[in-house]
Amino acid sequence: MTTTILSIQSHVAYGHVGNSASVFPMQRLGVEVWPVHTVNFSNHTGYGAWRGPLMDPADVADVITGIGERDALGEVDAVLSGYQGGEGIGATILEAVAEVKAANPEAIYACDPVMGNEKSGCFVHESIPVLLREKVAPKADLITPNQFELGYLTDTQPHTLEETLASVDRAREIGPSTILVTSVLRPDRPEGTIEMLACHDDEAWIVQTPHLPLKANGSGDVTAALFTSHWVRTRSLPEALGRTASSVFDLLSTTLDSGRRELQLVQAQEVYADPRMQFEVTRVR
């Protein structure tokens, strides 16, 4: 049976972030994706200049209403959201989640709570972390924060594996039952490595990969999309984590080798459908 994901995210014409990063990898997995765009920009804002409209939340809601009028929302297995530009979009996404879950109670809401990272700090408007912590995360079934964002959501400062697991437990008290922590940088890790940690209920698994010298906009969006797809399909943490880590590492390796700034999303397409599974996934709880 085909997995269907309603992906409510930004869109850029040039490059790959938001839906422009998420949709194609999910399609290469055989997932049916219904993209709803929250912005329609020429390129991502990291360039410092861009053109195109920010979508009015009412227009975003209208698109979702139109899908509902096709009696299609019951087919949705997951709603996926990423960067939320304002409170209006946040409310629209939560309304969509409620409508989907009314039509299909088995559907999940997967939220990538984009706020910032260890190096840059918090780079969104000050209202967004409050929105995510108080209104969005409590409604999510799956969240995919990096280690920095996990700390922000839970008012903690996780560094060690034990601290990160404790922060995950605090996040689960807020609402989501499944948490993927990306960019885990524990102080006792081998030099030149980075980890991802996946948790569901009392189960936790970790995977370690080489840390590539690359800052690639959109890589978090691809990670959230792939993990959500694998989790919905398999409900296996080690399989979802191992497949996601393998695909994202090879995508980033391809991008690094190309010397280009934008993710080489199309060039690396085989690694989504057929990941090498080259990294060991270890149970830590």
pLDDT at 121: 67
pLDDT at 79: 98
User: To which residue do tokens 């108080």 refer?
Assistant: 134
- Residues 151-202: tens digit of each pLDDT: 999 999 999 999 999 999 999 999 999 999 999 999 999 999 999 999 999 9
* pLDDT > 90: percent of the chain: 90
The pTM of this model reads: 0.96
- Residues 7-24: tens digit of each pLDDT: 999 999 999 999 999 999
- Residues 206-265: tens digit of each pLDDT: 999 999 999 899 999 999 999 999 999 999 999 999 999 999 999 999 999 999 999 999
Collect all residues with Cβ–Cβ distance below 8 Å to 260 and sequence separation of at least 6. none
- Residues 97-129: tens digit of each pLDDT: 999 999 999 999 999 998 877 766 666 777 788
Question: H or E element: which one contains 147?
Answer: helix 147-154
Q: How many residues does the chain have?
A: 285
Residue type, 26: M
**Dist CA 31 CA 8 (whole Å):** 15
pLDDT at 120: 66
* In the predicted structure, residue 26 carries a pLDDT above the cut 70: yes
- Mean pLDDT of all residues in 80-98: 91
Mean pLDDT for the chain overall = 95
